[in-house]
């Protein structure tokens, strides 16, 4: 009916971001340390290694415009 969803899309995006960030922190071996996250820029402010894991190279034909 094109009505508003039960849960706003931003809530879903923010909820899934938390899960993804936990996996990034584990991948860079920073569990137990404080990493600072800027939710506006969607970047870590104190861990360049973790920022490298926030995106991946796209397959040919599926690139996003820049």
pLDDT at 4 over 80: no
pLDDT score recorded for residue 36:
93
pLDDT at 38: 95
Mean pLDDT of 28-42: 90
Token digits of residue 51: 């920022």
Quickly state the pLDDT bin for 27 (edges 50, 70, 90): very high
Of 27-31, 38-42, 50-54, 62-66, least confident by mean pLDDT is 62-66
Residue pair 24/33 in contact by the 8 Å Cβ criterion: no
Contacts of 23 by beta carbon, 8 Å cutoff, 6+ apart: none
- Maximum Cα interatomic distance, the chain, rounded to a whole number of Å: 47
pTM of structure:
0.69
């Amino acid at each position: 009916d094109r009505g508003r969803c039960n849960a706003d899309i931003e809530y879903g995006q923010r909820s899934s971001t938390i899960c993804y960030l936990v996996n990034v922190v584990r991948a860079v071996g920073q569990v137990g340390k404080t990493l600072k996250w800027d939710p506006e820029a969607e970047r870590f402010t104190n861990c360049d290694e973790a920022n490298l894991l926030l995106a991946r190279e796209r397959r040919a034909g599926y690139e996003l415009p820049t």
